[in-house]
Chains A and B, each alone.
Chain A
């Protein structure tokens, strides 16, 4: 086999095994040099492109996953208490969420999870306690918070403006995030009031992520999403986390427990269940 053909196939095989374009290029150039000096049939020297690619992937593969060290705290809550019409909703809640970390809030209905999120977002004032958030916030409520008579695209422009994005950039960024959730935000000519619950939640997540916030507050973000969309949501959230954002997520779903860095249970004297 001609070296060029072999190297071309190798490029493809390496890419399908998940190597980055930079790594692929590096490997291909190195082998190209070798073949130039050594001569000979690549098949004989290296084996088939697929086999070789597999061996490379195995070498580079899960050796030791780079240890992610969460950064500084982006959310700090101390002794938070909230009463609504003299009924205590939250009592003595303290938590930290660091950059590059996802904290899951669990607890029975009415335990105050959404309220806590709203307090951290700044929408509600707590009865007592201290909340500090560092960096811009992206907040996705469980329901509401959208303009019923505007389309998703118009929402992107409006919310983008608050983040200092031009119309075109907001639409582009929003479309990019939406694509990661498997949704074409711009094609929907329907107004939000006509959208399904799942699509509305996708829009909420997109709006929360618009403009590169440092902190994400997501209330039941994938409620109503199908299995495929749920998977995509978690991949998106992990990508955000690895990029250094801090996320506080409220969810009832059981599968969420394994996919986060830390869990906090409300409704019992607040303590962290696991980290």
Chain B
């Protein structure tokens, strides 16, 4: 997994996504719609804004993962490392999410400043990370667009419906989003910074591990392994053996 390969994979994901301008525009405006719907109530508007960002980012991440599935497999056949492809994709999506978050942070600071703008920034950052990993892992689990979209809807539906105070809510991926938003708006007594960050960290780790293991099993082929062996043998100057299972 080399830096250049990761950067190239990321570049190509951005190029491909960049061509789908209408979809990107719609997804970018989703959080705004949420924000506007609740803009009278400071706490709720922030919470729904960030949740909107999470939804938009995870959707983009999911579809980015699904659209190139077959091609990525073929790419690994020619010797690309699956790790570079996945890492590049994640990096690109994080970049996109960062841009979106940055824009909305600006919105919040200008129109709806709260006690802790830094807290909002932190919430946006951790949410972006979890969203990217959620979308990517869903893309790795389900190769189909419709099934994945439905699963995403389910997650979102539950996220909005389930009472955040209940224990079940902690099993949802974006519990931390709500917690950190509450912390930013209402202060440390209402929302726990450490609990929120811990939840985000654990969720991210689980999703990343899921993504890695699923991608590895799907993208690793007999030949790509042999190809890498041969290439590294060539780099060390050893004679390469012919591939055989």
A residues with a Cβ closer than 8 A to B are 121-123, 130-139, 141, 144-150, 154, 157-159, 161-164, 191, 207, 210-211
Contact = CB atoms under 8 A, between A and B. Distances in A.
A157 B77 contact: no
Contacts of A130: 245
B209 interface: no
A123 B76 CA distance: 10
A132 B244 contact: yes
Q: In the A-B complex, list the 10 residue pairs whose CB atoms are closest, starting with the nearest.
A: A134-B242, A162-B80, A122-B223, A149-B16, A162-B79, A122-B221, A162-B78, A132-B244, A122-B222, A145-B74
Contacts of B77: 121-123, 137, 139
B245 A161 contact: no
B12 interface: yes
Nearest to B4: A161
Q: Secondary structure of the A side of the interface?
A: loop
Contact of B79 (A131, A136, A150, A157): A136
B202 interface: no
24 contacts: A121-B223, A122-B222, A123-B74, A123-B77, A132-B244, A133-B223, A133-B244, A136-B79, A137-B77, A139-B77, A144-B70, A145-B74, A147-B12, A147-B16, A147-B71, A149-B15, A149-B67, A157-B8, A158-B80, A161-B8, A162-B79, A162-B80, A163-B78, A191-B19
Interface in B56-93: 67-68, 70-71, 73-80
Chain B contact residues: over half helix, strand or loop, or mixed? helix
Given A132-B245, A139-B77, A210-B78, 20 more contacts: A122-B221, A122-B222, A122-B223, A123-B73, A123-B74, A132-B244, A136-B230, A137-B223, A144-B70, A145-B73, A147-B16, A147-B68, A149-B17, A149-B20, A158-B8, A159-B75, A159-B78, A161-B4, A164-B79, A191-B19
B5 interface: yes
A121 B73 CA distance: 11
A211 B79 CA distance: 11
Contacts of B76: 162
A133 B243 contact: yes
Contacts of A161: 4-5, 8, 80
Contact of B221 (A123, A148, A149, A164): A123
A135 B245 CA distance: 13
A172 B244 CA distance: 32
Contact of B245 (A131, A139, A164, A191): A131
Given A161-B5, A162-B80, A154 B12 contact: yes
B227 interface: yes
B12 A150 contact: yes
